[in-house]
Chain A
Amino acid sequence: MLSAILLQAATAGMGIAKLGATVGAGLAAIGAGIGIGLIGKGAVEGISRQPSAAGDIRTSMLIMGALVEGVALFAIVVCFLGLFQ
């Protein structure tokens, strides 16, 4: 089934590079979503266990979120390169 999709895309003149880039961008969004969701889950559980530590936990959550998003953006940069080359 996958080869049928690829064949259709190639004959439609879309180019395998664009198809790969757009699929990659979607996968990167899934990765970022799962990663940041897990961070949020841990942070909310931590705050619910100890509400007095909410400030520290919130700061750590924001920092980890930025780091995980950085990794997803590596993939986005590669997709951009594939889309316009």
Chain B
Amino acid sequence: MKRKKKMSRIKNNSLLWFTFLLLAWICFPASAAAESKPGEVDVQDIVFSHIKDAYTWHITEWNGKEISIPLPILLKSEERGWDLFLSSHLHHGNVHHNYYIAEEGDHAGKVVEKNSKGEEVKPLDLSLTKNVCGLLLSCGILLFIVLRTARWYKKHPNEAPGGFTGLMEMAVMFIHEGVVKEGIGKEYKPFSSYLLTVFFFILINNLIGIIPVFPGGANITGNITITAVLAACTFLAVNLFATKAYWKEIFWPNAPIFLKLPLPIMPFVEFFGVFTKPFALMIRLFANIMAGHTIILALTCLIFITASMGTAINGTMTVVSVLFTVFMNCLELLVACLQAYIFTLLSANYIGLAKVRE
């Protein structure tokens, strides 16, 4: 009886310590800030350098020295063919094999070369940038989780899962029953793998974006090109498998005749709607995630902006900033799960709407 009490006391204490350490992590991303002028913190530069794609994976700054992982750059120039080298060769404006990173102009921040006519031209850039590495990492995690779970079911037929497999079953059944079957209806089978993949892909990428330290922190779903590809996949899934009745309803909708002839107003609006729905999916996911990251970065920079204003203001702003950042991180966690769910729900509903039966 005494032993049981002691065990529960130790467990409660360790839970408290664990929570404290979790919250203490919030202070650590602050060490990645860099100053542009002595005494002035360039918030815009800090925020954008964390949100944009980059050729090196910047981890932190220690004693004035930058700690970052140089990533490989793979280029195909029209005149000189393929080239592969580490991006550390292009640091601080160095020129390597006639390639350099453009400072300004159309291709600012990207690798360009001067071709034989002297123009600055951008070669075919297939580099492993920060976002690509982040994508590879999150795809690796996704494959690991999903394939391990599938293998468990193969090895233990007719058994109820527990632990992590049980959690995955809960999540998969929630999406499969509540979203896929409800949204699409009878013909859900071909689309369930795509929708489940989209849900877990967006969820894992969102969660990785919230983690501030090294393997996390790549702003993947907050990049509009990636959400554009996801929206394009939904666009293809909706329109390639739509029934004839769906296309008839777009180009000759069930509307009064004066809206269709002589000027095809309603067909035009309906056709436009085919493109605006995936566009809205893209913008919704992109803006939610990017805005969340921007707010957290700006709140963290608040500490450094007030650093030069004296210890009283700095101390207060640090406490305020940490509290706000913890709140924003909790909100970002909710937004991460909710946006993945919304994307999947709307995709399922659009696919279901496209399967119109006369």
Contacts and interface: CB of A to CB of B under 8 A. Distances in A.
Interface of A: 62-63, 66-67, 69-70, 73-74, 76-77, 84
B231 to A, nearest CB: 12
A29 to B, nearest CB: 11
B283 A73 contact: yes
7 contacts: A63-B342, A63-B345, A66-B342, A67-B284, A69-B284, A70-B288, A73-B291
Interface in B336-354: 338-339, 342, 345
A28 to B, nearest CB: 10
A66 B339 CA distance: 7
B99 to A, nearest CB: 26
Interface string B317-358: 000000000000000000000110010010000000000000
Contact of B287 (A62, A67, A77): A77
Contacts of B291: 73, 76
A67 B288 contact: no
Contacts of B283: 70, 73-74, 77
B interface majority secondary structure: helix
Interface of B: 44, 280, 283-284, 286-288, 291, 338-339, 342, 345
A63 B349 CA distance: 13
A66 B286 CA distance: 13
Contacts of B345: 63
B202 to A, nearest CB: 13
B338 A70 contact: no
Q: What 4 pairs across the A-B complex have the smallest Cβ distances?
A: A73-B287, A70-B284, A66-B342, A77-B287
Nearest to B294: A80
B342 A76 contact: no
B91 to A, nearest CB: 25
A84 B108 CA distance: 14
A66 B341 CA distance: 10
Contacts of A73: 283-284, 287-288, 291
A76 B287 CA distance: 8
Given A70-B287, A73-B284, 12 more contacts: A66-B284, A66-B288, A66-B338, A66-B342, A67-B342, A70-B280, A70-B284, A70-B288, A73-B283, A73-B291, A76-B287, A77-B287
A21 to B, nearest CB: 13
B146 to A, nearest CB: 25
Contacts of A74: 280, 283, 287
A73 B338 CA distance: 15
A38 B22 CA distance: 35
A73 B284 CA distance: 7
